[in-house]
Amino acid sequence: MDKKAVKILLKTIKSSQDQNLESWFYWDTYMQFITEDEFEYAKSHSVMFEQEKISHNEICRIIKTAVNQIEKQSVVDAFIYSLSTRRLEYRSFLSSYCIGKSLIEHDFVSSPEPNSNICAVCGLYTYEFERLIEFNTLNFFKYKHGSCTDNLISVLFDLEQFLKFPVVEPSDEDYNILNELKTIIETAQPNDRIAQLKKSISKALKSNDDERLGLLEIFGVIGILHDDKHFGYAEKYVTYPEREHRPIRNDDVNYPTRWWQGQFGVDREKWDYWFNNK
């Protein structure tokens, strides 16, 4: 990716965050902090984008079309490659691929009242696809934190972007980091949760707290981190009602990683499926 274009994206969104704590992520807000020339430059390098109108059903269709053009090993390689290079924009392709492969195309199905504006299958809100969709804040978080999310708009964006990215190959250092992460997770204390694990893995790779959380959430999505009841997307698509929250006040870790404890360690079958099956 063009460094100047990425710098424009990060500067624009960060400026909006600094000035508008409540509405920084809206198109009309952050577009005040970028010139027309800057926007055109970032667009020309596929780093910033115009808004688009995409229906719920089109989102599902585009995801399935894109994911069927992607080889599993290529997204695995991209994830591993991100570990030593800290090329965070390559990290979430793996979780998006996993979700996209398990997704079943479906029509919008209203959740029970009072949540009838939420799809009971995928969790998309009607406002997310009835208005113009913007992708720039999604790309900001990809470059900033390597963020992982099960939101289908994010998955769609990730998969379409992956097809445009250069192919990468992990190094020996990347694999060493990956194996160290596995060892740290396997030797966690039985009652450890993600808060403790985030700190533990900090010695394995250069990262900040948000990056480490994103990495562990990716492990959850692909089936590596879970408890004995709440599983990731590797076997089947996890529907909106199935993504249960823990009964705590601030449940700010994504499903299913939020349910992991040290006693559950690593799901070795899923680890082998993704990382030892080349």
- Assess if residue 269 is contained within a domain: yes
145 & 116 share domain: yes
153 & 239 share domain: no
- Assess if residue 51 is contained within a domain: no
207 & 265 share domain: yes
Which regions of the chain are under pLDDT 70?
278
pLDDT of residue 194: 96
18 & 115 share domain: no
- Assess if residue 50 is contained within a domain: no
- Of 109, 137, 162, the position where a domain reaches its end is 162
60 & 158 share domain: yes
Q: What percent of the chain is helix, strand and coil (3-state, nearest 5)?
A: 55, 0, 45
Span 141-194, pLDDT tens digits = 999 999 889 999 999 999 999 999 999 999 999 999 999 999 999 999 999 999
pLDDT of residue 278: 59
Q: How many domains does the chain have?
A: 3
pLDDT of residue 32: 95
Spatial separation of the C-alpha atoms in residues 103 and 88, rounded to whole Å: 24
145 & 74 share domain: yes
Instruction: At 86, list the tokens.
Output: 């800290």
- Assess if residue 264 is contained within a domain: yes
Burial pattern 24-58, b for ≥16 Cβ within 10 A else e, equals: bbeeebbbebbeeebbebbeeeebbbeeeeeebee
Span 116-125, pLDDT tens digits = 999 999 999 9
235 & 257 share domain: yes
Burial pattern 156-178, b for ≥16 Cβ within 10 A else e, equals: bbbbbbbeeeeebebeeebeebb
Side chain identity at 55, as an amino acid letter?
S
Collapse the DSSP code of 125 into the 3-class scheme (helix H, G, I; strand E, B; otherwise coil) and give the result: strand
Range of the domain at 195: 172-275
143, HSE (Cβ side, Cα atoms, 13 Å): 21
- Of 162, 197, 214, the position where a domain reaches its end is 162
